[in-house]
Chains A and B, each alone.
Chain A
Amino acid sequence: MSKKYLVNLKINNKTVSVEEGTTILDAAKKLNFKIPTLCNHPDLNVAGNCRVCLVEQKGGKALTASCATPVAEGMDISTNSAKVREARKHVIELLLSEHNADCTKCFKNGHCELQELASEYRVGDHVFLDLVHEEDKIPDISSPSIQKDDSKCIRCQRCVRTCSELQAVSALAVVHKGDHQRISTFLNKPLDDVVCTNCGQCINRCPTGALTERTYIDNVWDAINDPNIHTVVQTAPAVRIGLGEDLEISPGQRVTGKMVAALKAIGFNSVLDTDFTADLTIMEEGTELLTRLKKALLEKDDSVSLPMMTSCSPGWIKFQEHLFPSLLPNLSTCKSPQQMFGPLAKTYYAQKKGMKAENIVSVSVMPCTAKKFEAERPEMRASGYQDVDYVITTRELAMMIKQAGIEFTKLEDERYDSIMGESSGAAVIFGATGGVMEAALRTAYEIVTGQEVPFQNLNITPVRGMEGVRDAAIEIKGAKPEWSFLEGVTLKIAIAHGLANAKTLMQKVESGKADYHFIEIMGCPGGCLGGGGQPIPTSPEIREARAKAIYEEDGDMPIRKSHENPEIQAIYADFLGEPLSHKSHDLLHTHYKPRKRY
């Protein structure tokens, strides 16, 4: 790598030295000068199109977009000259003139970057004419996951860059030009009729209310308030390490006990844990992997599809259905933990509690928007009812907590209810990229060898981290007699998170250049902890902090392996029989269908 030179420049009369290639924006940050931005985002390539971050360069004819301009030796920059302030105010006013500024009714009220700027710059008197188009005011609510309101769009193209750069989906693109320019889908089709995976990463990066989740808060309140309904709620692993961010707690703080207390205070009849079914997923998926390996390696059955791929991430599943239909047989048939929980709540749980399924409303709290879509898939009615009735995001839960008047930070920790509330550390790490792989290895290795995985404290560090695509190999030693065909076999595994990385890996698999046995894919950057339903903002640093919290939670759990969860042992003894049993297949496994690219 070539050596980076230091560049000296002046910003607001203070000198600073930064590495060449640094933007003026970042150089100013170093001096604690905040320059406002809208189109800029730490996860995305530079756009330089909103023009809010303008600065004045001495000797320059025009103003300079600080996010898009690298520093140069001897630059003399002003971030707050009269010229800059006036131009910036104009830009904000122009944005507002084409923005449906019905802020009090907006889902993003109080969390909108444009609103914040408008407030900072006090753009009260309306200089400009209203340019909002009436036809844009009708939002696209076709998708069960994502709502798109063009009248609130400021064309910063963060969503477009997210969808192409991070997710390689490009469901959203810029169309037309000038006053007709919009962010649109292919042929302006409804969101539910295009290649959109419902991952919600666009929502995480939308500075305004143009892209939000479809919200089901009111439906959930109705169920809670209905005396004839028994509400059960499940919480995904990544919610407990993200929720605090929307409730005045800094990123990377675990709030499991407070979250449980809040859900009870809100009025859910039973507060249960998706982590329980994450453990169950490991039992089913681990057994499925070993079965596939047995067929392939021992019985030489070449109809078996390897590598097997995880199926917990519904955005990833839809991506695969659209883009790599030939690899659908490689997907594990296991439902995601949410969708294993759903039918069990309305069968096993109902039976144990002496209730009728029709009287149960099953709610799940997810770091994910694709889960809303997943719950509505026609395959997800194994209980005879819609298995999961409503899915709300981490953000929606935070809203409900506020609506209920709960002072979250002052809550005393409480414990999950039983049954289906017990879990292991292996389940918690489902929330981080590599976590499912690690959890599966902890159990599968032990099934095969009777020994714990050969890593200190069960921490399989080679599969951890934020590298987009990672792979590792583990040699199996000391296989039990019934698994002797695996003795000495090197298990090859790969992990990818974010769909652009998934695409890279899938292209490798499709072209036959990958000889992995098992692949974990999470649709969102960082895994579920960076999911489309998590608190906004997101950045590499925030996701790192959340991951750290997840692994701390795992480390502190008394049980670290899925097969040691006593409730898991009980459900097999009392209800399911064994992994991959007939009942398991009926309730816990599913199938996939190819979808068109266009």
Chain B
Amino acid sequence: METKNLKKVDIIFECEHCDPIKVLDRTVKRKADDIILDIIDSGLKGRGGAGFPTGLKWKFTKNESATPKYVICNADEGEPGTFKDREILDQVPEKVFAGMAICGHSIGAHEGFIYLRGEYNFLLKTLNEKIDKFNKHLKDIGVDFVIKIKSGSGAYICGEESALFESMEGKRGEPRNKPPYPTVSGYNYKPTVINNVETLVYTTMICDLGPEKFKSLGTSDSRGSKVFSVSGDTPIAGIYELELGMPLKTFVDEFGDGDTKAVQVGGASGHCIPRKLLEDTVIGFEGIPTGGSMMIFNSTRSMYNVLHDYLEFFTEESCGQCTPCRVGCQQLLKGIEAVKKGDKKPDYLEDMKKLAVNMKLSAKCGLGQSVANPFTTIVDNFREEIIY
């Protein structure tokens, strides 16, 4: 498999050579189709975790005839272990705004919203000031686009795009049935581009640097770089922008504390990779994709406790509407407790694994579908820790 060495990159936070306002001014003079073509050409995939090609999302939305259309920046950064969007919005918000405005220009939207995680309300004051300034600039240069902020209320599920729309519309945050997808029917049931904070910054940067520069980074399946939130048993926890496509081993060599037992890639809903598989695991869409969360565990950690925490989290944060997720999460949680206590025999874990697989097949949205990721990988790799 094509792999890359660990390479730190400085695109997202770089400010010396990039003025997002100038990028915007330049880009809105270009034809929408050309911009979208560049984004498609760059190979940029969504940085929220699911990895849908960003350019195609824009193109599909542009092709819809219904109006108005919307651009939404998903800043409901709720995945445990992820904290990079907060930093981006704090450090380089204009790059996010520019991405939204360029998207609006490209798809024919006149309104954009940042759905800001409720816990990030401390950012509101400065963000609003900067947005006012940015909106004024848009008006000055004659771009018919306005950015507004909507505050979330603390539910993890509202980071799921269709639940986010429901929440924005003042309703209970519950995922919708798909299809239709947001490009056809999103916010207010109108064509909507919804992109992660980081994705929007990359669109600005692709418009600045050109798709070639972006493409020169990463692998054929995972173009570009990505911002990682590194936490856990590491001496250097923090936010790092790295080229995609590196083996996990390289990552651990750089960030681990020398005693790494496992890395949880992609947050609570991601995969747990044990030491023995570090070498063969590539970070990227061809391997293990991640929204940026990298939690490192050393040998002092109980993987039972790790899994128990995750399952408690999902049990509480499931919206509760669909059966597999609402009840399944509770069963998995109570199931490992019962095995630990000896109320159920160890082979009950096999029943639980079957349940996790069926949750992946049958849950309505990504939340319920992804609980199997941590469950299966932790139970498979640390079975003794779950039982004894």
Contacts and interface: CB of A to CB of B under 8 A. Distances in A.
A83 interface: yes
A46 B177 CA distance: 9
Interface centre among B177, B314, B331, B361 (most CB of A within 10 A): B361
B351 A178 contact: no
Given A51-B364, A129-B334, A177 B323 contact: no
A174 B320 contact: yes
A131 B334 contact: yes
B360 interface: yes
Given A46-B177, A50-B322, A87-B361, A98 B316 contact: no
A155 B327 CA distance: 11
Chain A contact residues: helix, strand, loop or mixed: loop
Interface in B353-379: 354-355, 358, 360-364, 369
Interface stretch (A89-97, A144-152, A345-353, A421-429): A89-97
Interface centre among B318, B323, B328, B355 (most CB of A within 10 A): B323
A412 B10 CA distance: 90
B315 A178 contact: yes
Contact of B331 (A48, A68, A129): A129
A48 B364 contact: yes
Contacts of B334: 129, 131
Interface in A110-139: 127-129, 131
Nearest to A89: B358
B327 A83 contact: no
B331 A97 contact: yes
B177 A178 contact: no
A70 B179 contact: yes
B331 A94 contact: yes
Given A129-B338, A177-B157, A94 B323 contact: yes
B322 A51 contact: yes
Interface centre among B315, B327, B334, B351 (most CB of A within 10 A): B327
A365 B322 CA distance: 38
A158 B361 CA distance: 24
Interface in B282-341: 314-324, 326-331, 334-335, 338
Contacts of A65: 177, 364
Contacts of A47: 321
Contact of A94 (B327, B351, B354): B327
Contacts of A52: 323
Contact of B321 (A46, A54, A87, A174): A174
Contacts of B354: 86, 90
A49 interface: yes
Nearest to A181: B320
A49 B323 contact: yes
Contact of A131 (B320, B324, B330): B330
Given A69-B179, A131-B334, A176 B320 contact: yes
Contacts of B338: 129
A248 interface: no
Nearest to B314: A178
A90 B326 contact: no
A131 B361 contact: no
B319 A177 contact: yes
Contact of A179 (B172, B316, B355): B316
A83 B358 CA distance: 9
A174 B172 contact: yes
A62 B179 contact: no
Contacts of A256: none
Interface in A493-511: none
Nearest to A63: B361
B155 interface: yes
Contacts of A180: 316, 320
A277 interface: no
Interface string B52-71: 00000000000000000000
Contacts of A127: 351
Given A51-B324, A131-B331, A91 B362 contact: yes
A292 B179 CA distance: 55
Interface in A17-74: 46-52, 54, 62-63, 65, 68-70
Contacts of A174: 172, 174, 320-321
A177 B362 contact: no
Given A68-B177, A179-B316, A91 B361 contact: no
B317 A177 contact: yes
Interface centre among B177, B319, B362, B363 (most CB of A within 10 A): B362
Interface residues of B, number: 36
A71 to B, nearest CB: 11
B319 A181 contact: yes
B323 A95 contact: yes
A46 B318 CA distance: 20
B319 A94 contact: no
A131 B332 CA distance: 12
Nearest to B180: A70
B265 to A, nearest CB: 20
Contacts of A181: 318-321, 326
A177 B320 contact: yes
Contacts of A274: none
Interface centre among B328, B335, B358 (most CB of A within 10 A): B358
B324 A155 contact: no
A47 B174 CA distance: 11
Given A50-B322, A62-B361, A63-B362, A178 B317 contact: yes
A167 interface: no
Contacts of A54: 361-362
A52 B362 CA distance: 9
A514 B379 CA distance: 67
A154 B323 CA distance: 8
Nearest to B360: A62
Contact of A62 (B316, B351, B369): B369
A235 B361 CA distance: 51
Nearest to A154: B323
Nearest to A96: B327
A131 B177 contact: no
Contacts of A143: none
A49 B321 contact: yes
Contact of A155 (B172, B317, B321): B321
B14 to A, nearest CB: 37
B327 A95 contact: yes
Nearest to A46: B177
A86 B357 CA distance: 10
A178 B362 contact: no
Given A46-B177, A129-B338, A90 B358 contact: yes
B340 to A, nearest CB: 13
A157 interface: yes
A178 B318 contact: yes
A131 B322 CA distance: 16
B308 to A, nearest CB: 15
Contacts of A69: 177, 179
A157 B326 CA distance: 14
A69 B324 CA distance: 18
B355 A90 contact: yes
A178 B326 contact: yes
A83 B357 CA distance: 10
Interface in B33-80: none
Contacts of B315: 178-179
Nearest to B359: A90
Given A62-B362, A177-B320, A179-B315, 20 more contacts: A49-B321, A51-B322, A62-B363, A62-B369, A65-B364, A90-B354, A90-B355, A91-B324, A94-B327, A95-B323, A97-B327, A129-B338, A157-B321, A174-B174, A178-B314, A178-B329, A179-B326, A180-B320, A181-B321, A181-B326
13 contacts: A48-B177, A50-B322, A62-B363, A63-B361, A90-B355, A90-B358, A94-B323, A129-B331, A129-B335, A131-B330, A174-B174, A177-B319, A178-B326
Interface of B: 155, 157, 172, 174, 177, 179, 314-324, 326-331, 334-335, 338, 351, 354-355, 358, 360-364, 369
Leading 6 A-B pairs by shortest Cβ distance: A181-B320, A68-B177, A94-B327, A48-B177, A49-B321, A178-B318
